[in-house]
Amino acid sequence: MEQTAEININLRQIKSNIMAKKTVKAAKGKLGILLPGMGAVATTTIAGVHAVNKGLSDPIGSLSQMGRMRIGRRTENNKPFIKDVVSLQNLKNVVFGGWDLFDDNVYEAAVHAEVLDPALLKKLKSPLSKIKPMKAVFDKNYVKRLDGSHVKKGKTKMALAKALMKDMENFKKENKCDRLVVVWCGSTEIYLEESKVHKSIKAFEKGLENNDPNIPPSMIYAYAAIKMGVPYANGAPNLSCDVPALVQLAKETQTPIAGKDFKTGQTLMKTILAPGLKARALGLEGWFSTNILGNRDGAVLDDPDNFKTKEVSKLGVLEQILEPELYPELYKDFYHKVRINYYPPRGDAKEGWDNIDIKGWLNYPMQIKIDFLCRDSILAAPIVLDLAIFLDLAKRANMSGIQEWLSFYLKSPQAAKGVQPMHDIFKQQIKLENTIRHMAGEDVLTHLGLDYDE
């Protein structure tokens, strides 16, 4: 009886949430996707969208393009494409731009990145050559292994932020865009912790005027976008929009934001596997992850200060999923190590090894080995696209601030103060799908087993 009453309350709550469903404006006109950092990931994304639009290939890995989800009762067996459940931007009406400290156009940068087959790139040469990066806001103090001359000059960080806003306005006008979205695809900056200047909008704006060293370029881009109400996602592990001042600004300007660090490769595997081990109450003694990669990202991460940013982003995942404080017999003091090794011969074709020491019935030890011969940018490109498409949806649904439903795509998901970020990919998927159902005015799924006979 008690259980039935509880279920009824849950259902009532869910229904009242649905009553308050979002009104989503239709995705009309052109969407401009601006990418600060036009290296391997950005150019693979842009070239990919052009290849898809030409019918040369499929957008594999992108939920916004290929994903389906269940709508209604289980007995109805209705699994439409996500893009038919809510109004999403059509890829034919997307235009790309961005910034970089190297002035190579997207075709040249994609050739240099050596991710995509030269024969495919040749077929896309004409449109890709036309996309030229705007001058970057860059400071070598935050990315020591890079040096470029295609860089803006400005007396203060505020002046640089204003220059970025001007770039966005001009881009929007010149390309006749209705809306813009920004996704940071720039290099990982050195490790910085939240400090006084990040605490409020006022302190942050003063810091921009005073050239505060705790404001790196990625935060200047984030500020510029959010100030203009342009949705912003951060694909790198550096803080960028993950500070109270910018979260507050996002609320004030009605801007959806998401971060940090695209969830690809080894962390993707971790957040698939760890929930399964926990679900079956299998213990963990240690998880050692190491990999080799040879792209420019690998070169940047070879610097200890930049690697530290990545390491922090990668380490939080297992603790949060396994909850050792609740399951000390299974997970107390498990050893977790993450290594990244720069090895030029591999280029973007990373190889990641995981050695996982688990324990089962009566503490008997077992081992799992993973050897993932992955392609970093091939895994990241659909994430860039989906973040852009879904942030644009969030904006049209009047959602603002941190978009936790997009944690699905992120290694170190940004969460509200005092809220644990959610890393388990299956829970993230449920949250993403239910948010879309909610926006579409469809019943959210509770997985209580009642939804087929309601």
Ligand X SMILES: NC(=O)c1ccc[n+]([C@@H]2O[C@H](COP(=O)([O-])OP(=O)(O)OC[C@H]3O[C@@H](n4cnc5c(N)ncnc54)[C@H](O)[C@@H]3O)[C@@H](O)[C@H]2O)c1
Using the rule CB under 6 A, is 223 a contact of ligand X? no
Q: What is the 3-state secondary structure (H, E, C) of 151-202?
A: ECCCCCHHHHHHHHHHHHHHHHHHCCCCEEEEEECCCCCCCCCCCHHHCCHH
The CB-nearest residue to ligand X is 39
Q: Which of 24, 49, 95, 100 binds ligand X (CB under 6 A)?
A: 100
Measured CA to CA, the distance from residue 146 to residue 148 in angstroms comes to 7
Nearer to ligand X by Cβ, of 101 and 440: the residue is 101
Which range binds ligand X by CB under 6 A, 167-175, 183-191, 197-205, 442-450? 183-191
Binding track over 202-221 against ligand X, x by CB under 6 A: ---------------x----
Q: Which stretch binds ligand X (CB under 6 A): 11-19, 85-93, 138-146, 202-210?
A: 138-146
Where does 253-397 have alpha helices with state H? 265-279, 296-301, 304-322, 328-331, 376-396
Q: How far is the CB of 113 from ligand X (least distance, A)?
A: 6
The DSSP secondary-structure symbol of 262 reads B
Burial-class residue 81 by CB neighbours within 10 Å (0-12, 13-18, 19+).
Answer: middle
Tell me, residue by residue from 39 to 78, as one string, x for binding to ligand X by CB under 6 A and - for no binding.
xxxx------------------------------------
Select from 6-14, 134-142, 272-280, 358-366 the region that touches ligand X (CB under 6 A): 134-142
Q: Where is 12: in which H helix or E strand?
A: helix 2-19
Residues forming beta bridges with residue 234, ordered by sequence position:
184, 259
236 binds ligand X (CB under 6 A): yes
Q: Which is nearer to ligand X, 340 or 393 (CB)?
A: 340
Residue 154 or 286 having the CB closest to ligand X = 154
Q: What is the dihedral of CA 341, 342, 347, 349, to 10 degrees?
A: 10
Residue whose CB is less far from ligand X, 93 or 320: 320
Q: Minimal CA–CA distance to 439: which of 414, 412, 411, 403?
A: 403
Tokens 């600060």 correspond to what residue?
Answer: 36
- Which of these, 220, 172, 213, lies nearest to 196 by C-alpha position? 213
**Taking the complex as a whole, how short is the minimal distance between the CB of residue 5 and ligand X, in angstroms?**
46
Residue type at 211? N
Q: Does 262 bind ligand X (CB under 6 A)?
A: yes
386 is a site residue for ligand X (CB under 6 A): no
| Contact (CB, 8 A) for 2 and 10 | no
* Subset of residues 432 to 451 that bind ligand X, contact rule: CB under 6 A: none
Buried b (16+ CB within 10 A) or exposed e, 429-452: bbbbbbbbbbbbebbbbbeeeebe
First to last CA, the chain: 18
CB of 265 to ligand X, least distance (A): 6
Shortest Å distance, C-beta 25 to ligand X? 30
Q: Which residues have a Cβ under 8 Å from the Cβ of 144 and sit 6 or more positions away? A: 190, 303, 305, 306
Of 95-103, 159-167, 392-400, 443-451: span binding ligand X (CB under 6 A): 95-103
- Determine if 36 is a binding residue for ligand X (CB under 6 A): yes
Structure tokens at 448: 């209580």
Total interface residues for ligand X by CB under 6 A: 37
Residue 271 CB, nearest approach to ligand X (Å): 13
- Burial (0-12, 13-18, 19+ Cβ within 10 Å), 12: exposed
Window of 226-234, 292-300, 413-421, 435-443 that interacts with ligand X by CB under 6 A = 292-300
Please report whether residue 264 would count as binding ligand X according to CB under 6 A: yes
For residue 376, which of 312, 297, 270, 289 has the smallest C-alpha distance? 297
- Looking at the Cβ atoms of 381 and 440, the one nearer to ligand X is 381
Q: Of these, 45, 89, 188, 435, which contacts ligand X (CB under 6 A)? A: 188
Least Å from the CB of residue 222 to ligand X: 11
Binding site for ligand X (CB under 6 A): 36-42, 99-102, 113, 136-138, 143, 146, 148, 185-188, 217, 235-236, 261-262, 264-265, 295-297, 300, 376-377, 379-380
